[in-house]
Amino acid sequence: MAAAQPLVFRWGIISTGMIAQSFVKDLLVDPKTRDTHDVIHLVQAVGSRSVEKAQEFITTYAAGDKKIKAYGTYAEVYADPDVDAVYIGTPHTLHYENAKDALLAGKHVLCEKATTSNAAELRDLLKLTKERKLFFMEALWTRFHPLTKEVKRVAEDGTLGDPITLHADLSGFFDIENIPKTHRILDPQLGGGALLDLGPYPMIWAVLALYEHPSNKAARPTSITGSMLKTPITDVDMCTSFTLNFTEHLRAQAVLTCSIAASSPTPAVTIRYLKGNILIQPPIYCPKTFTVQYFDKPGSGNVVREETRTFEYVGNGWHFEADEVARCVRDGKLESETWGHDKSLLLMDVFDEVRRQGNYVLPEGVEKIKA
Ligand SMILES: NC(=O)C1=CN([C@@H]2O[C@H](COP(=O)(O)OP(=O)(O)OC[C@H]3O[C@@H](n4cnc5c(N)ncnc54)[C@H](OP(=O)(O)O)[C@@H]3O)[C@@H](O)[C@H]2O)C=CC1
Ligand SMILES: O=C1OC[C@@H](O)[C@H](O)[C@H]1O
């Protein structure tokens, strides 16, 4: 029997910044190099606030493909009948308006993290998604990596027992003394600071190892604590730490940190169990290596066996989330089973609470809907 033709999935790209560039480069990697045979990605249109930037983006990142349309507004991408899904790569505080406009125009949406400025905005988007029967997913690319799937398998195969403690950090040195105050990592108008930019990654590992663990039965954390250390430069959070307790069905705690003024430790994720540990090497948004340690006796800490696994592929890892979107849309799903709406909402609820405890108030008008 002849093999079925792959689905050709047509993307409209919103914005031309750093992440839009990375995403498009990966879209154009031959899917067969990652053993994907059912989907092919096509960049149909690029929208920017400047048509010249959109054209330059196509020239640089899509080999000047004449079939790709360059638009000087985002609205033209949403209105393009040849676009199946819109990828939103603008700064966090613009996601709500951009995603809403795309959904109202009837497009499926893949939206960068942090999905919105707050949970109320995300709830509103998810309501719209359901009303319009469209697909919506937060672009938490890490969750779709082959390494992540393997960590999940090990975490849930029962060999290590139930999780007890998880430490996860994502930090990066952004040279905040020397970059402009309008840089998105410093500008409160753009949701600057560590939590909304870097926090999704420690969270992804807490979600995978604790929230998703079968023994947890999808129970949300029963308590959240947070502490923020602000930078005097613009008063956004420079270092943030937060803890989540999962006590409904587990007895487990996640201790999560992020900073825009330092680099991450190695390992950057440690998940501890009675019978061993899982250690994940940085960067935790795209780790290539993890190690499982097994103890001689439960709780002893005496490592008698260690297995390290490394994962390599062509491209930089953003194509896996693109495959997920195309397959979900093809199959008529409104959300991904791997990174569903419940998880994006959990992240935003946690971030709201940590910002509340850390007294990080976004400037007036930034949050389009208040909690
Ligand atoms: N998944 C991942 O690995 C990563 C995700 N991100 C996420 O992607 C988003 C964007 O980050 P990044 O690409 O680094 O940001 P950049 O500043 O490099 O790009 C943002 C783009 O958004 C558009 N834009 C629209 N309005 C504004 C505005 N008022 N100020 C600034 N830019 C605006 C611009 O494109 P134009 O002028 O063409 O309209 C700009 O180039 C963030 O939400 C971040 O969390 C970031 C890095 C990695
Ligand atoms: O998503 C991200 O991952 C890598 C970080 O350096 C970046 O700031 C962040 O947005």
How far apart (Å, rounded) are the C-alpha atoms in residues 359 and 35? 47
Q: Provide the CATH number for the domain around residue 119.
A: 3.40.50.720
Q: Provide the CATH number for the domain around residue 199.
A: 3.30.360.10
In a domain, 119, yes or no: yes
pLDDT for 1 equals 61
> In the chain, how many domains are there?
2
Is the separation of the CB atoms in 363 and 189 below 8 Å?
A: yes
**Angle of helix 119-132 versus helix 95-104 axis, rounded to 10:** 10
In a domain, 371, yes or no: no
Q: Is the same domain home to 305 and 237?
A: yes
Quote the ligand 2 centre to 199 CA distance (angstroms): 10
- In terms of phi and psi (left: phi > 0; alpha: psi -120 to 50; beta: otherwise), the region of 240 is beta
Quote the ligand 2 centre to 250 CA distance (angstroms): 31
How far apart (Å, rounded) are the C-alpha atoms in residues 286 and 319? 12
Quote the ligand 1 centre to 156 CA distance (angstroms): 35
Pocket test for ligand 1, best of 184, 186, 236, 316 (most atoms within 8 A of CB): 184
Dig out the tokens for 235 from the structure.
């008063």
For residue range 211-228, list pLDDT tens digits in order: 999 999 999 999 999 999
In a domain, 85, yes or no: yes
How far apart (Å, rounded) are the C-alpha atoms in residues 8 and 42? 7
Quote the ligand 1 centre to 18 CA distance (angstroms): 6
Q: Is the same domain home to 204 and 350?
A: yes
Q: Look up the pTM and report it.
A: 0.98
Quote the ligand 1 centre to 91 CA distance (angstroms): 4
Structural Rg of the chain based on CA atoms: 21
pLDDT for 199 equals 98
In a domain, 54, yes or no: yes
pLDDT for 295 equals 98
pLDDT for 181 equals 98
Cα angle value 91/145/251 (rounded, 5°): 90
Tell me the β-bridge partners of 14: 47, 88
Q: Is the same domain home to 110 and 175?
A: no
Q: Is the same domain home to 234 and 328?
A: no
The DSSP output letter for 190 is G
Nearest CA to ligand 1 atom 46: 19
- Give one DSSP letter per residue of 210-257, joined into a string: IISSGGGTTPPPSEEEEEEEE-TTTS-EEEEEEEEEE-SS--EEEEEE
Q: What is the pLDDT along the chain (371 residues), one digit of tens a residue?
A: 666 899 999 999 999 999 999 999 999 999 999 999 999 999 999 999 999 999 999 999 999 999 999 999 999 999 999 999 999 999 999 999 999 999 999 999 999 999 999 999 999 999 999 999 999 999 999 999 999 999 999 999 999 999 999 999 999 999 999 999 999 999 999 999 999 999 999 999 999 999 999 999 999 999 999 999 999 999 999 999 999 999 999 999 999 999 999 999 999 999 999 999 999 999 999 999 999 999 999 999 999 999 999 999 999 999 999 999 999 999 999 999 999 999 999 999 999 999 999 999 999 999 999 97
Relative to the CA of 172, which ligand 2 atom is closest? 6
Dig out the tokens for 57 from the structure.
């983006």
In a domain, 94, yes or no: yes
How far apart (Å, rounded) are the C-alpha atoms in residues 77 and 363? 29
Q: Is the same domain home to 297 and 171?
A: yes
Q: Is the same domain home to 178 and 47?
A: no
pLDDT for 134 equals 98
Q: What is the mean pLDDT of the chain?
A: 98
pLDDT for 2 equals 64
Q: Containing domain of residue 283, as a range?
A: 146-310+346-357
pLDDT for 209 equals 98
Q: Is the same domain home to 225 and 301?
A: yes
Pocket test for ligand 2, best of 201, 260, 316, 351 (most atoms within 8 A of CB): 201
User: How many secondary structure helices (H) and strands (E) does the chain include?
Assistant: 10, 14
Q: Is the same domain home to 324 and 306?
A: no
Backbone angles phi, psi at 350, to 5 degrees: -65, -45
Q: Is the same domain home to 90 and 138?
A: yes
pLDDT for 371 equals 77
Around Cβ 336, how many Cβ atoms within 10 Å? 23
Ligand nearest to the backbone CA of 258:
2
Q: Is the same domain home to 161 and 98?
A: no
Q: Is the same domain home to 66 and 182?
A: no
In a domain, 365, yes or no: no
CB under 6 Å to ligand 2: residues?
Answer: 172, 197, 285
Q: Is the same domain home to 32 and 156?
A: no
In a domain, 341, yes or no: no
Residue for token digits 């930019």? 197
